[in-house]
Amino acid sequence: MVNPIKSYRKTFIILIITLLLIFFVNISLGSVYIPLKQIFLSLFDGQVEKESWKSIVLNYRLPKAITAIIVGSGLSISGLLMQTLFRNPLAGPFVLGISSGASLGVAILILGASYLGANISSYSFTSWGQAIAASIGSFLVLSAVMLAAIKVRNTMSILIIGLMFGSLTAAVISVLAYFSSANQLQQYMFWSFGSLGNLSWKEISALLIVFIIGILFVVFIIKPLNSLLLGENYAKSMGVNVKRTRNFTLIATSLLTGVITAFSGPIAFIGLAVPHLTKLLFSTSNHKTLLPAVAISGSIIMLICDSIAQLPNSEYTLPINAITSLFGAPIIIWLLVRKRKINY
Partner 1 sequence: MSTKSKHIIKTTNLSIGYSSKKKVNTIATNLNIELKKGNLVCLLGKNGVGKSTLLRTLTKVQPALSGDIFINDKNLNNLNNLDLAKSLSLVLTERLPESTLSVYEIVALGRQPYTNWVDKLSEKDLKIINRAIEQTNTKHLINSKYYELSDGQLQKVLIARALAQNTKIIILDEPTAHLDIHHTIETFTLLKKLAKEFNKTIIVSTHEVNIALQLSDVLMLMTSANFIAGKTEELIENNSLNQLFDSDLISFNKTLKQFTISNF
Which positions lie near partner 1, rule CB under 8 A? 1, 3-5, 87, 220, 222-223, 226-227, 229-231, 233-234, 236-241, 279, 283-286, 288, 343-344
Shortest Cβ 166–partner 1 spacing (Å): 25
CB nearer to partner 1: give 241 or 314. 241
Q: For residues 119 and 233, which CB has a smaller minimum distance to partner 1 in the complex? A: 233
Burial class from Cβ neighbours inside 10 Å (0-12, 13-18, 19+) for residue 265 reads: buried
CB of 288 to partner 1, least distance (A): 7
Report the residue number, 18 or 285, with the smaller CB distance to partner 1: 285
**DSSP structure string for 79-102:** HHHHHHHHT-TT--GGGGSHHHHH
Nearer to partner 1, 26 or 226 (CB): 226
Nearest distance, CB of residue 242 and partner 1, angstroms: 9
Nearer to partner 1, 221 or 267 (CB): 221
In contact, 139 and 101? CB cutoff 8 Å? yes
| In the complex, minimum distance from the CB of residue 284 to partner 1, in angstroms, rounded to a whole number | 6
- Residue 176's Cβ-side half-sphere holds a number of Cα atoms within 13 Å equal to 23
Alpha-helical segments (H) within 155-268? 155-178, 182-193, 201-228, 232-237, 242-264
Contact 204, 63 (CB under 8 A): yes
Q: Is 267 exposed, middle or buried (0-12, 13-18, 19+ CB in 10 A)?
A: buried
Nearer to partner 1, 76 or 227 (CB): 227
Q: Which residue number, 6 or 37, has a Cβ lying nearer to partner 1?
A: 6
SS3 74: helix
Question: What is the four-CA torsion angle of 202, 324, 69, 8, rounded to 10 degrees?
Answer: 160
Give 140-188 as a 3 state SS string.
HHHHHHHHHHHHCCCHHHHHHHHHHHHHHHHHHHHHHHHCCCHHHHHHH
Least distance in angstroms from the C-beta of 246 to partner 1? 14
Q: Which is nearer to partner 1, 200 or 283 (CB)?
A: 283
Question: Which of 296, 326, 316 shows the shortest CA–CA distance to 80?
Answer: 296
Please state the closest distance from residue 274 (CB atom) to partner 1, in A.
Answer: 17
Nearest approach, Cβ of residue 256 and partner 1 (Å): 20
CB of 92 to partner 1, least distance (A): 18
Q: How many CB atoms lie within 10 A of CB 123?
A: 15
The residue (of 5 and 90) whose beta carbon lies closer to partner 1 is 5
Cβ-in-10-Å burial (0-12, 13-18, 19+) of 15 comes to buried
Q: At closest approach, how far in Å is the CB of 189 from partner 1?
A: 39
Q: Is the Cα torsion angle 323, 326, 329, 334 positive or negative in sign?
A: negative
